Structure 1
Amino acid sequence: MLTKTEIDLIKGTVPILREHGLLLTKHFYQRMFRLNPELKNLFNMGNQKNETQQTALANSVLAYAENIENPGVLLPVLQHIGEKHTSLMITAEQYSIVGENLLASIQEVLGEGASDELIAAWGKAYTILADIMINLEKSIYIEKSSLSGSWSGWRKFVIKKKVQESEEITSFYLYPEDGKDVSLHKPGQYLSIRVFVKELGIFQPRQYSISSAPGNKYYRISVKKEVGQGVAKEDGIISNYLHNSLGEGDIVEATPPAGEFVLNLENKGPVVLISGGIGQTPFMSMLEYLAGESERREVKWIHGCRSANVHAFKNEVSDLNKKFDWLEHIVFYDDCSGSEENVKKGRVELSEVKETILLPDADYYICGPKLFLEKAIKDLAALGVDREHVFFEEFGPQTLNLN
């Protein structure tokens, strides 16, 4: 346990972390990759380039310092991180490397402001946090290994089918190369896949939501081809590689399904899905699962995207909408004639569909870009939805702060 003096030392760094946290984490990653270049195989280097990974770590370090007296309040966030780490096969030994570089970075960035006592306090605090994460991730690894069809490490999968779902989204049907079974995923979970990028000379992992129901001999992932927009955003390395360079018969590697953004199977009340763009992919898994269940739950799905041309699974969901009276699907398009059935023009405005989505005992699931999530969460709060019934998934490093 930390002493009161150590707690006070760490809390004393909170103002510095608020103002200069990003500077610290940028220095940390540069230092760690310089001294341990093999770790580049575990990190999304695109997120390093656009600084979302550094921002996420800065937020995490600050949150830990702010809650150093009661780190238990961070358990939901730590669970999210633990799922991500196990999907990348992070080991206990790698926490030592991170700790060594983080403490050195604090010392190097703060300079004379980093007393021996402060570094010792942060070292002790990091050890406590690392032990929590190592034990948490150990339990996740054990839980996954107990599932029928599961595996350990990176397993080879064959792309047996590649289907273009819209102008920018393509589905890949991944079958295990060894022909054995795959473990059941929970509706909403993702796969970590990796490919070797010759230009970088390293493996690059990415997480993609599983867009098919559990119980198949394969996993389906549906990937948006990320196209850059000027200097502000470059092409997505892996999404473009999957779209342009890989075809049926090619191989990717994957770890077992991961993620805690999953359909609550215990609550039999209504389900409200709210998605923006590629955020629809985990909801396809949820919807297909619910369609196969004998016990029906009322489902309302509000989806927003730019136009029908980029709307993946449009026909499949429309068919289910016509087939099942328990499902209602409403779409918002930025660009549309306004004459399409169940289609509204403009960005998603939950106030326009409040009569549809405000249901007793409903669970609300939101997935999409950061700004979409922020707006949807605020809009639900304004409509009186209990925060305990709202669940969300931010693709990429978690930078959304709801405090």
Structure 2
Amino acid sequence: MLSEQSTPVIRDTLPVVGAAIGEITELFYAKLFDDRPELLRDLFNRGNQASGEQQKALAGSIAAFASMLVEHPEARPDAMLARIANKHASLGITSDQYKLVHQHLFSAIAEVLGEAVTEEVAAAWDEVYWLMANALIAIEARLYRDSGAAEGDIWQQMEITERRVETPDTVSLILRRTDGSSTGSFRPGQYVSVQVQLPDGARQIRQYSLSCAPGSRQWRITVKRVRGTDTPEGEVSSWLHDHAQVGQVLTVSAPFGDLVLPEGDGPLLLASAGVGITPMLAMLGELAAAATPRAVTVVHADRTPADHAHRNEQHRLVKALPHGSLHLWYEAPGATAPEASSGQADVTALDLPEGLTAYLCGPLPFMRAVRGDLLRRGLPAESIHYEVFGPDLWLGGE
């Protein structure tokens, strides 16, 4: 909770800081990478830095956290904090790095806002930063403890045992530990980080959902090649498509992620588009293996049947559910998918049971549209959960 003396200061300065937060975060990253260039080379996603998405995500999270402290002092944005903390843990972020971030972030604030940053203002925003940082540090400590890893020590060597071409743009890689031991457990919906060394020597990291059910001695990730159109070409996805072959060893993290299959017997909606199907496959695999009595409504949207990764597997898993139903939309269904509808996914006409919990994964426009439709149908916001591949530019979506 924000202190009494800082609350009015943050309330009064939030519009000014909010208006300049994009410039502040851009300068922050410039200062950080000038001081520690290895962080851009080996930790931060260079594609997201080039596109500006990481700067937008950081700016949004700071503004959202500060607004919550002022407008809802009795609450905490736990969903946002959990999502950030899981991503940090999957990168091996350590608590001492928050001091480095603080140094360069507040240097950027002072430089952008100038004389507006009085001692009182600086102290109030310092309090906001450490409230957020300490909350994240505590969550990340718990995540490391639960994964059985020391702080930041999340990496293991895994061998590719099989490579499957799923679609022209998508491959799946089957992984096992090089020492022959069990891959360990994970919760359906979680992801792992994969670190690869690129031709220029950089060690870039990306997250990929585990697209198999728990319980196997091997894991599976499904990788879609990121094409360079409005965003930079995917460095890691392209490298994995071009170079990851059977027998090769990859550096892979422990599993993390807060979009996980809930316990209980309540009805579920699993809605995905494109490669967003991957966490849903893990959930479906777990539900099918347990022959769950839960009502499970599955929605998937894609460009064409040929672009639908794991299409046959999804059909098989839904069919194995006693109370499962599958609803497909393709932009161009063609003759090979007579069961599918044409166009964008539309949940407005589906028969959705009471007490539903919804899980969404896919491009932001898809998730915004589905979430909006569900809210208009009366589903509470707290019952709608989502996973964003990349920086979370949809803050406040839950």
Same structural fold, with TM-score higher than 0.5 when normalized by the shorter chain: yes
The equivalent residue for 2:273 is 276
The equivalent residue for 1:22 is 22
1:222 and 1:281 in contact (8 A); partners too: yes
Deviations 1:197-251 (A, max 9, x none): 232x32111111000000111110001111122xx22321110100011211112
Aligned-partner SS, 1:340: coil
Aligned-partner SS, 1:73: coil
The equivalent residue for 1:349 is 346
Relative to structure 1, the CA distance from residue 157 to residue 328 in structure 2 (aligned partners, 3 Å threshold; closer, same or farther) is same
The equivalent residue for 2:388 is 394
The equivalent residue for 2:170 is 169
| Aligned residue identity for 1:76 | A
Shift of 1:100: 0.5
Give, in whole Å, the separation in 1 of the partners of 2:10 and 2:374. 36
Relative to structure 1, the CA distance from residue 140 to residue 5 in structure 2 (aligned partners, 3 Å threshold; closer, same or farther) is same
Output aligned runs, 1:136-285, within 5 Å.
136-145=139-148, 152-199=153-200, 201-229=201-229, 232-265=230-263, 267-285=264-282
Relative to structure 1, the CA distance from residue 323 to residue 142 in structure 2 (aligned partners, 3 Å threshold; closer, same or farther) is closer
Shift of 1:193: 1.2
Shift of 1:93: 0.8
Give, in whole Å, the separation in 1 of the partners of 2:2 and 2:310. 52
Give, in whole Å, the separation in 2 of the partners of 1:67 and 1:198. 43
Give, in whole Å, the separation in 1 of the partners of 2:119 and 2:175. 52
Relative to structure 1, the CA distance from residue 71 to residue 223 in structure 2 (aligned partners, 3 Å threshold; closer, same or farther) is farther
2:120 corresponds to which of 117, 125, 137: 117
2:50 and 2:232 in contact (8 A); partners too: no
2:64 and 2:395 in contact (8 A); partners too: no
Aligned-partner SS, 1:198: coil
Question: Are residues 1:99 and 2:97 paired?
Answer: no
Task: Name stretches of at least 5 consecutive residues in structure 2 with no aligned partner.
Answer: none
Shift of 1:334: 0.2
1:338 and 1:344 in contact (8 A); partners too: no
Shift of 1:271: 1.7
Shift of 1:90: 0.8
What's the % identity of the aligned pairs?
33
Give, in whole Å, the separation in 2 of the partners of 1:113 and 1:338. 64
The equivalent residue for 2:7 is 7
The equivalent residue for 1:289 is 286
| Aligned residue identity for 2:340 | V
Aligned-partner SS, 1:385: coil
The equivalent residue for 1:330 is 327
Give, in whole Å, the separation in 1 of the partners of 2:83 and 2:227. 28
Give, in whole Å, the separation in 2 of the partners of 1:321 and 1:134. 39
| Aligned residue identity for 2:240 | L
Shift of 1:373: 0.9
Deviations 1:317-375 (A, max 9, x none): 223444544222121000123673420011111124x22xx112222111111111111
Shift of 1:295: 3.7
The equivalent residue for 2:45 is 44
Relative to structure 1, the CA distance from residue 245 to residue 5 in structure 2 (aligned partners, 3 Å threshold; closer, same or farther) is same
| Larger CA deviation: 9-18 vs 171-180 | 9-18
2:90 and 2:253 in contact (8 A); partners too: yes
The equivalent residue for 1:376 is 370
What number of residue pairs does the alignment pair up?
393
Shift of 1:152: 3.7
Aligned-partner SS, 1:399: coil
Give, in whole Å, the separation in 1 of the partners of 2:159 and 2:281. 22
Aligned-partner SS, 1:220: strand
| Larger CA deviation: 179-188 vs 9-18 | 9-18
| Larger CA deviation: 316-325 vs 232-241 | 316-325
Give, in whole Å, the separation in 1 of the partners of 2:202 and 2:125. 32
Relative to structure 1, the CA distance from residue 324 to residue 107 in structure 2 (aligned partners, 3 Å threshold; closer, same or farther) is closer
Question: C-alpha root-mean-square deviation of aligned residues, in Å?
Answer: 2.0
Give, in whole Å, the separation in 1 of the partners of 2:318 and 2:348. 22
| Larger CA deviation: 17-26 vs 243-252 | 17-26
Give, in whole Å, the separation in 1 of the partners of 2:187 and 2:318. 23
2:189 and 2:279 in contact (8 A); partners too: yes
| Aligned residue identity for 2:315 | S
Relative to structure 1, the CA distance from residue 198 to residue 400 in structure 2 (aligned partners, 3 Å threshold; closer, same or farther) is same
TM-score (norm 1): 0.92
Give, in whole Å, the separation in 2 of the partners of 1:311 and 1:295. 25
| Larger CA deviation: 88-97 vs 111-120 | 111-120
Deviations 1:42-70 (A, max 9, x none): 21111111111111111111112212342
